[in-house]
Chain A
Amino acid sequence: MKETLMKPSAISKPSQRLGHIQANELSPLPPPYEDFNNLTLSELKDEKIANIEASLDDTIAIGIPKPQNKEEEKKHLRAFLSGLQKLFEKKNNWGFLQPLLLSMEHCAKCQTCSDACPVFEMSGRQEIYRPTFRSEVLRRIYKKYIKPGGKITSKLTGDIDLNWTAVARLAELAYRCTLCRRCASVCPIGVDNALIAHEIRKLFSQEMGIAPKEIHEKGTLQHLKVGSTTGMNPIAVKDSMDFIQEEMEEITGYKLEIPWDKEEADILLLHNAGEVLAWPENVGAFAILFQAAGISWTLSSEELGYDVVNYGLWYDDVQLARVALKHAEIAKKLKVKKIIIGECGHAHKALTVIADRVLTGDLNIPRESGFVILDEIVSRGNLKFDPSRNNFPVTLHDPCNVVRAMGIVEPQRRILRKIAPKFREMTPHGVDNYCCGGGSGFAIMSGFNFAEWRTLVSSRKKFLQILDAFKSEPQDTPKYVCAPCSNCKGSIRDILAFYHAKERSRIYYGGLVELIVNAMADMKKPMIKFDQETF
Chain B
Amino acid sequence: MVFFLAAGLRVYRQWKLPLHFRWELYPVKHEVGKKADYGGSYMEELNWWEKEKKNSLYNELKFMIPEILFLRGVWQENRQLWKVSFPFHFGLYMLLATLVLLFVGAVAMIFGAPITAGGSTLRALIYYLTILTGFVGLTMGTVGGIGLIYRRVFDPALKNYSSFADYFNLAFLFLFFVAGLLAWLFHDHAFDGARAYIYSLLTFGGQPEGYTSSRSFLGKGTIMIASLVMAYIPMTHMSHMFMKYFMYHFVRWEDKPNLKGSRIEATILKNLGFKPTWAAGHIGADGEKTWADIATSGPKGSK
Contacts and interface: CB of A to CB of B under 8 A. Distances in A.
Interface of A: 1-8, 79, 82-83, 86, 90-92, 94-99, 101-102, 105-112, 114-116, 127, 130, 132, 136, 155-158, 181, 184-192, 195, 205-209, 216, 220-221, 224-225, 303, 317-319, 321-322, 325, 338, 352-354, 356-361, 364, 366, 368-369, 372-373, 376, 403-411, 430-431
B268 A188 contact: no
Contact of B295 (A184, A321, A364, A408): A321
Contacts of B19: 94, 357
Contact of A99 (B23, B26, B154, B166): B23
18 contacts: A3-B156, A92-B276, A92-B277, A102-B14, A105-B243, A109-B162, A136-B161, A190-B244, A206-B280, A209-B282, A224-B303, A318-B276, A322-B299, A360-B268, A364-B259, A369-B44, A376-B46, A407-B42
Contacts of B202: none
B161 A111 contact: yes
A431 B280 contact: no
Contact of A190 (B26, B247, B294): B247
Given A188-B73, A189-B244, A94 B299 contact: no
A223 to B, nearest CB: 9
Contacts of B291: 94, 321
A220 B166 CA distance: 42
A224 B299 contact: yes
B247 A357 contact: no
A153 to B, nearest CB: 8
B6 to A, nearest CB: 13
Contacts of B156: 1-5
Given A322-B295, A364-B258, A369-B43, A7 B23 contact: no
A322 B303 CA distance: 12
Nearest to B250: A98
Contact of A188 (B71, B160, B164, B294): B71
A352 to B, nearest CB: 7
Contact of A132 (B161, B252, B259): B161
B49 A110 contact: no
B278 A96 contact: no
Interface in B1-35: 14, 17-28, 31, 35
A321 B160 CA distance: 39
Interface of B: 14, 17-28, 31, 35, 38-49, 71, 73-74, 76-78, 81, 85, 154-158, 160-166, 168, 237, 239-240, 243-244, 246-248, 250-252, 255, 257-260, 264-265, 268-269, 271-272, 274-283, 291, 294-296, 298-299, 301-303
Contacts of B22: 353-354, 356-357
A403 B269 CA distance: 29
Nearest to B41: A407
Nearest to A4: B156
A91 B275 contact: yes
Most buried by B among A4, A102, A191, A407: A407
Contact of B20 (A109, A127, A338, A357): A357
Contacts of B250: 98, 102
Given A408-B44, A431-B38, 17 more contacts: A2-B156, A95-B271, A98-B246, A98-B251, A109-B161, A112-B81, A115-B77, A216-B282, A221-B282, A338-B47, A356-B257, A364-B265, A368-B46, A368-B48, A407-B27, A407-B255, A410-B40
B35 A407 contact: yes
A176 to B, nearest CB: 18
B162 A318 contact: no
Contact of B160 (A5, A99, A403): A5
B78 A112 contact: yes
A190 B77 contact: no
A102 B158 contact: no
Contact of A430 (B38, B47, B77): B38
A290 to B, nearest CB: 15
B267 to A, nearest CB: 9
Nearest to A106: B240
Nearest to A82: B279
A91 B285 CA distance: 11
A86 B265 contact: no
Contacts of B26: 403-407, 409, 431
A326 to B, nearest CB: 9
A143 B158 CA distance: 20
Given A79-B279, A91-B277, A157-B163, A189 B247 contact: yes
Contacts of B296: 322, 325
A95 B21 contact: yes
B240 A360 contact: no
B40 A409 contact: yes
A2 B222 CA distance: 36
A100 to B, nearest CB: 9
Contacts of B255: 407
B299 A407 contact: no
A221 B299 CA distance: 7
B25 A185 contact: yes
A408 B274 contact: no
B205 to A, nearest CB: 37
Contacts of A155: 164
A318 B39 contact: no
B182 to A, nearest CB: 27
Contacts of A127: 160
Contacts of A209: 280-282
B302 A359 contact: no
Most buried by B among A158, A195, A373: A158
Contacts of B279: 79, 82-83, 206-208
Given A86-B277, A90-B18, A190 B295 contact: no
B247 to A, nearest CB: 3
A83 B71 CA distance: 37
B155 A1 contact: yes
Nearest to B246: A102
Contacts of B28: 407
B149 to A, nearest CB: 13
Given A112-B74, A206-B280, A90 B17 contact: yes
Contacts of B240: 106, 108, 189
Given A1-B156, A91-B275, A116-B77, A208 B280 contact: yes
Contacts of B265: 360-361, 364
B216 to A, nearest CB: 32
A295 to B, nearest CB: 12
B270 to A, nearest CB: 9
B157 A5 contact: yes
